[in-house]
Structure 1
C-alpha cells in the first residue's frame, strides 16, 4: 500500500501529534508499506530520512512554535502526484491538511482525517472575554463540522473526541483509535543510570529530594498554573519534594513569573524542551507524574508515564476513562483541593502508590504501537475497498 500522511507538525517539533504520526509511520513501514510524510519546512532542520516532502512555511500567528505552509504548492503537487498514492491521511486542519484534501480529489483516492485537537478549548488564544469566547466557540464548532464533511472517514483518538464531534453534528463515520505507545521506549531506567544522575545534578536535586514531574507543551490550557499553586501548599508538609516542569510553549514566561510570586524559585525547575530521546530519562527520574489538563484528546504523556511505571495523578476527564481508575491505576482529582490531597496521599503511601503504578503498567500494555499500526492499516484497506467498489458501480451504471 502507498500512503500519504499530511501534517503541519513533524519532527523536530515535539508534541502529541508528532508522536502519533511518527509511531504510525514506523508501524506502517515495518509492515512493508510505503509511507510519505508531507509537511512543512523547519528552519535549520535537515531530514535524515527519505520519503519526506517539506513545503516552505511561516510561523503561525500567536503559536510561533507551529508553522503553516506558504500557499505555493505547484512543485509539491507534482511530487505528490508522482507517488501514485492509494490513500491520504491528514493530521491537521490547516494548510497541509487542506492540501491533502485537494490532492485526494485530484488523484481520486480516499482521504481520512485524525481529529487531534479540541479547538473549542483554545478560544482564549483568539478572545479572552466570555461573550467573545462563546461566539468563537460556536464558529469553531461550525467550522469543524464543515471542514470534515468531505472526508471518507474520521479517526478520533478517544471516545471523548468522538462524542464531541457527534455533538457538533458531524455525520462522517468515526473510528476510535488511540495512538499506540512504544512501550519499549519507556521501560523504567535504574535511578543509578549515569544519565539520570547527570540530569539530577543539572537540576540541583539531592538524593533526598523526591520529584513530581509535569511534562508536555507549556500552554495555558494545560493548567500547570494549578499544579504550581497547589505545590506551594504541598511544600508546607513535604519540604523535600521538588517539581520539575519539562516542556516549552507560549505560557512558560507567565508560569515562571507565577512561581516567583509564590516563592517557589528554590523548589521548582523549568527545563524547557528536551530532546525526544531524553524524555524517558525524565519519567524514570521522577517519583510521581501530574497532569492538571482537562483539554486532552487522549493524554499521551499520561500513558507514557504509566508505561514507565511512574505513578500518575491526573485530572478526572473522559479522555482517560477506563485507563486511570482512581485507587486502582492512579489518583484522580477534580479541583485544586483534590489535587493537593491526591499529591499528599501518593507521596505518603509509597507502597500503595507503587502497587497502582504496577496496575497502570498492566493496563497500558494493551495500547501498544503494534495494535495502533495494524488497526490504522485495516481502516485504510476498508476505505480503499469501499472507494473502489463505489467507483466500479458508477462506471457500470
Structure 2
C-alpha cells in the first residue's frame, strides 16, 4: 500500500514535538508491515530536501507557511499515485481534498484545536484568518471525511468548537515501553519537567509558584529538560526569582539522560494552556512518576485525577497543590501505590495499537471511496462514531475480526476475546454481534477512560483492573 503523509514538520525539525513523534512512530510501523510511506513536509536548514527516516521517504520543500502551496502543487502532480493520504492538521489545514481529488481516501489527524492560540502568535486580522481556516473553511472542504483525534478532549473540541459532523475516531498516542527498573527515586523532593520551552507551555507559571513551594518543601529540586525559543526568558526569570539553587535547565539531552532524570523524579508537572495529549505525562507515568497539571483539554485525559496525579482547576492554586502533592508523596507506601497505578495506566498505551487503529480508519475510508461495502453488512451502524460498546466473550473468538469493520478493535487474552464496536449503542452492538456469530458475556458503553485504554484493559490482571477502575462485570 502506498501512503502519503502531510505534516508541516518531521522529527528532524528543530521544533518537532509530539505531533511529529506521533506520525513518525505510526509511519515506521506501517513501513515494517510492508507499506510504502512518503512524508511531505517543510524544509529546514541543515536537512536534505530528500531523506529516508526509518524507511519513510521524506520530501522537504517550502517554509513554515510556503509549505502549504508547495504541498498543494505536489498533490496536483501526484493525483492517483497514492492509495490513501494522512493529512496532519496543525492549525493551518493542507486542504488536501481540493488538490488530491474528490475520491481520494483522506484521513485527517488532529491533535488539538488551535482557536485560542492564534491570537497569541499573530495579529488580530491574521488570528481571525487562522480561526476561519481551521474552522468554517476546513469544515467545508473536508466535509464528512473521517478524523483521527488523539484524545476525547480533542474530539469534543472538534464537535463543539469547529462543528465537525463526520466520523471522529480516537486514536491515542503510544508511549515508551515500561522500564525494568523504576526504583531510582531521588531522596529529596524532585520535580522533573520534560517540555519544549515555548510560550504556550507556560513554564513561567510554574516558576512563579516555586518560591513559595521551596519555602515549604525543604530540599526541593526542579529539573527542566528541553529547549526552545523561550529558554532565555525563562532562565532570566529564574534569576529574578532567586531560584538558581532550586531550578536547573538541562536543555536538550539524550534519551538516556532524560530517562535518568525521570527515574529520579517524585513528580512531573504540566502548566500548558491546552494539549491534544500529554505525551511527556505518559512517559513519566511509565517510570511511575505522577503528574500535577492544570485541568485543560488533552491533559485532563492523560492524568487520572487522584490516581496517576492531580488536576488543578485554578492556576492561582498551583503552588499550594504542589506542596500538598509533594508532602503526600513523602509517604513511601502512598508513593509506591501511586507509582504502580501510573505504570499500569502507561502500560495501556502502545504505538503498535495506535498504528493498527489508524490503519483501520484508512482501510475503512478506502473501502468507502470504492463504494465496496454493502449497506446490509456490519458496516451499517446507527450511532455516531463517538459512541462505542465493549463486548467481552469468555470464549475465544479467533475469526471475529475478519467479520467486523476495520475500525473495530479486537483483542484476545487467553481464552477470552474483547471487541470494541465503534458507532454502536448496546442494542446495535447486540445486532452486530448476532450477525457475526459472537456470543458476548458482557456489554458496556465505552467511557473516555476505556476508549483510551482500549479493549485489552478489561482483560488485564484483576489488580490492574482495580487500579484503573476498569471492569466488565
The interval holding the TM-score normalised by the smaller chain is 0.7 to 0.9
Is 1:126 aligned to 2:117, yes or no?
no
Matched position secondary structure for 1:270: strand
Deviation of the 1:217 alpha carbon = 1.8
Q: For 1:390 and 1:377, how far apart are their aligned partners in 2?
A: 18
Matched position secondary structure for 1:57: coil
1:351-391 Cα deviation digits (max 9, x unpaired): 21331121122122222212211111110111000000189
| Structure-2 residue corresponding to 1:369 | 351
1:307-357 Cα deviation digits (max 9, x unpaired): 221121111234244652332221222234532233223322332133112
Q: Which has the higher helix share?
A: 1
| Structure-2 residue corresponding to 1:111 | 106
Is 1:359 aligned to 2:336, yes or no?
no
Q: For 2:304 and 2:99, how far apart are their aligned partners in 1?
A: 43
Q: For 2:290 and 2:373, how far apart are their aligned partners in 1?
A: 52
Change in Cα spacing, 1:276 to 1:87, as seen in structure 2 (3 Å) is farther
1:59-95 Cα deviation digits (max 9, x unpaired): x3xxxxxx7528456995598568x311000113578
Change in Cα spacing, 1:143 to 1:40, as seen in structure 2 (3 Å) is closer
Could you list the runs of 5+ residues in structure 1 that have no partner in the other structure?
61-66, 193-206
Matched position secondary structure for 1:281: helix
1:121-170 Cα deviation digits (max 9, x unpaired): 3121124xxxx5xx776654432121243332212111211221212222
> Equivalent of 1:69, from 64, 67, 70?
67
Matching of residues 252-331 of structure 1 within 5 Å: 252-275=231-254, 278-321=257-300, 323-331=302-310
Change in Cα spacing, 1:99 to 1:163, as seen in structure 2 (3 Å) is closer
Q: For 2:127 and 2:335, how far apart are their aligned partners in 1?
A: 39
| Structure-1 residue corresponding to 2:6 | 6
Deviation of the 1:16 alpha carbon = 0.8
Is 1:174 aligned to 2:168, yes or no?
yes
* Contact 2:38–2:58 under 8 Å retained in 1: yes
Mean Cα deviation higher: 335-344 or 244-253: 335-344
Change in Cα spacing, 1:15 to 1:72, as seen in structure 2 (3 Å) is closer
1:259-291 Cα deviation digits (max 9, x unpaired): 111111222112223345654333223221111
* Contact 2:312–2:321 under 8 Å retained in 1: yes
TM-score, normalised to structure 1, is 0.80
* Contact 1:180–1:369 under 8 Å retained in 2: yes
* Contact 1:230–1:336 under 8 Å retained in 2: no
Matched position secondary structure for 1:250: coil
CA RMSD of aligned residues (A): 3.2
Change in Cα spacing, 1:10 to 1:309, as seen in structure 2 (3 Å) is same
Q: For 1:94 and 1:328, how far apart are their aligned partners in 2?
A: 32
Matching of residues 1-397 of structure 1 within 5 Å: 1-13=1-13, 14-46=16-48, 47-49=51-53, 50-58=55-63, 60=64, 69=67, 71-72=69-70, 76=74, 80=78, 84-93=81-90, 98=94, 100-105=96-101, 108-122=103-117, 123-127=119-123, 132=124, 139-145=129-135, 146-151=137-142, 152-167=145-160, 168-184=162-178, 191=184, 209-275=188-254, 278-321=257-300, 323-350=302-329, 351=332, 352-389=334-371
Deviation of the 1:21 alpha carbon = 0.9
1:45-70 Cα deviation digits (max 9, x unpaired): 35453432323333x3xxxxxx7528
Q: For 2:369 and 2:52, how far apart are their aligned partners in 1?
A: 35
How many residues align structurally? 362
* Contact 1:104–1:110 under 8 Å retained in 2: no
Deviation of the 1:173 alpha carbon = 2.2
Change in Cα spacing, 1:9 to 1:354, as seen in structure 2 (3 Å) is farther
Mean Cα deviation higher: 313-322 or 172-181: 313-322
Mean Cα deviation higher: 322-331 or 13-22: 322-331
* Contact 2:154–2:276 under 8 Å retained in 1: yes
Matched position secondary structure for 2:59: strand
Q: For 1:379 and 1:70, how far apart are their aligned partners in 2?
A: 24
